[in-house]
Structure 1
Amino acid sequence: MPELSGPRSGSEVPLELLRTPPPKERADAARNRAAVLEAAARLFAEHGVEAVSLDAVAAAAGVGKGTLFRRFGDKAGLAVALLDNRESVLQEAILYGPAPLGPDAAPTERLTAFTDAYLDFLLPHLALVRVSETASPGARYRIGAYRFWHRHVAILLASAPDPDVAAHTFLAALAAEHVAAVLPELGEQRLRAGLHQLGAALA
């Protein structure tokens, strides 16, 4: 069953409805979008996100720079689009997958499973997520995926005095900028363990 009950944050929208819908595009626009995303993924993997310009992506995709800017806006918009499919897979598992990431497990177990699954998504794509979250002040909180993660964590932290505040607090420790800064010092294993402890303390 989809996760539609529990304390609701923000606009009281059910979690299922916070998923980002796939874009509705003409066939030619869809082909251009696919070409741009394929070129961006390849160039980012080869050279690193920071080193690749939008001009280079447009040239590799065989589209005009104006087409790329109209569709994605900037590098952050391109990063969001590249991450969308990967985020959708995680969201699907949260809503409908097997426990403990999916329903039918205790909230504390689900929060631990979410922490591990989110880190499994974040760490291989840390540079991309960082670009998407830091393009402008507060960019992270305007991304549709953040609203989904926040709603999910708030439901799992229903026993906290204020689940919304607790969820923001927990997710702050998963911000790409923060993880990128502390990972070299703490290492992945220690970071995971600390986040598990934080979730248990907030629950």
Structure 2
Amino acid sequence: MSWTEKVSNRLARRLVTEGSPYSLGQISHGIEIFLLMVLNAAFLLVVSYILGCFMESVVIGFIYMLHRNFTGGVHFRNQSACFFIGNALMIGLALIVKSLPSVPDVFSYSLISISFVLSYLVNARHAPAKHIYVEYDPFIIKRNRTIILRLLIFGCLLSYLLVYFAYSKFAFAYTVAILLQSILLHPVIYRLVESIEHKFFKGVDL
């Protein structure tokens, strides 16, 4: 059991009351997610500031976590691997966005359109992730899927506006965040992560 699980379980036992609609496991899981989000945000902001891609990382991190909150997605069982690989992906994408050269607006619009269409299709098919506990409530599944699809439409239109007003870097940051969330929702990535865990992290729990 990881240290975040131990802390979450200890806090959950103090919070669960008789007659609570949520189980000890659900409350513990929610607390653990909150702790990990705080740690991830702190690490992401500090490292991205040092590397000079702070604003790009803020956009990518915020949009990614906003969408993932409604969809879930793949993650490593090993918390340390999940922490470092997740942050490396977001910071790496932020550095790529920051280094992108200026391109014609028509290219930006086309790239954004393709990315959002692909993301919409993935989320319409696979969101929310089946491994999260909301799968047992058809109403919540439908609600979360509706929210994420509307968020994607809103994000696409907002990205168009950002390009129009010469904020292409922010539009690209928004777009790669959406792509990252969608990719980590696809079943192929689940199989890839399972294979990596079996090969490199078997029996490891940090």
TM-score between the two structures when normalised by the length of structure 1: 0.33
Which structure carries more relative contact order (alpha carbon 8 Å, separation 6+)?
2
More helix by proportion, 1 or 2?
Answer: 2
TM-score between the two structures when normalised by the length of structure 2: 0.33
